[in-house]
Amino acid sequence: KAGVTQTPRYLIKTRGQQVTLSCSPISGHRSVSWYQQTPGQGLQFLFEYFSETQRNKGNFPGRFSGRQFSNSRSEMNVSTLELGDSALYLCASRRGSDTEAFFGQGTRLTVV
Amino acid sequence: TQLLEQSPQFLSIQEGENLTVYCNSSSVFSSLQWYRQEPGEGPVLLVTVVTGGEVKKLKRLTFQFGDARKDSSLHITAAQTGDTGLYLCAGEGGATNKLIFGTGTLLAVQP
């Protein structure tokens, strides 16, 4: 069974631009969570989508947004990029609300 | 706010040594998971513990969930270079079922 797929793997953007990241969860999994990982802050929760609805939200500014489609694929958007947004963005797939999370390889975003 | 603190933050040991990593919180979690992450990759699930006092073994790795379900430990026996990586605990609990990650323990096993 295919794992969690994140695209692209690497991305370089300039300050002020916007970016969209994509995550395809494991087939049958309805929950997709997004995390930002940086050396200084560790894994920070961004938001979780379940059946196309945002179920949980972390403490990130409104520049960070997401959505989930009917096939459970999810996208994350960051507008007006800042240097501090440089990070590894990870997507986690879960079957339901209380099962283990399976991660994609992440998207490494560099803002210059 | 639920927080998970891991200790130590960094650990460098020789191959063959034993080690223990701790994951502590003031909050109760319905379940707790341990992950290992290698550079440039996403975390990979190692184990899930759900019952207070539960002990699970995965080859040379032993995981324990505290009786009060607020803390957990990971013990590695006879560490190998392949054990090198970032170890993360993650807890789930509360009304939101949000998965919260610990601060991480970076382990380096030297040959």
pLDDT tens-digit map of B26-84: 888 888 999 999 988 899 999 999 999 999 999 999 999 999 999 999 999 999 999 99
Give me the residue from A98, A100, A106 closest to B97, CB to CB. Answer: A98
Q: Exposure pattern of A73-86 as b/e (b: 16+ CB <10 Å)? A: ebbbebeebeeebb
**Better pLDDT: B101 or B78:** B78
Mutation for B interface: A43, A60, A97, A110, most B CBs within 10 A: A43
Please say whether the beta carbons of A33 and B43 come within 8 A.
no
| Predicted pLDDT of residue B36 | 96
| Predicted pLDDT of residue B94 | 63
Q: Kindly state whether B47 is in contact with chain A, defined as any CB-CB distance less than 8 angstroms.
A: no
Query: Is the pLDDT confidence value at B93 over 80?
Result: no
| Predicted pLDDT of residue B96 | 66
| Predicted pLDDT of residue B99 | 83
| Predicted pLDDT of residue A100 | 85
- Spans of chain A, pLDDT less than 50: none
**Cβ partners under 8 Å of residue A112, min gap 6:** A12, A13, A14, A15, A83
Measured CA to CA, the distance from residue B51 to residue A1 in angstroms comes to 29
| Residue in A86, A72, A70, A73 with CA at minimum distance from that of residue A19 | A86
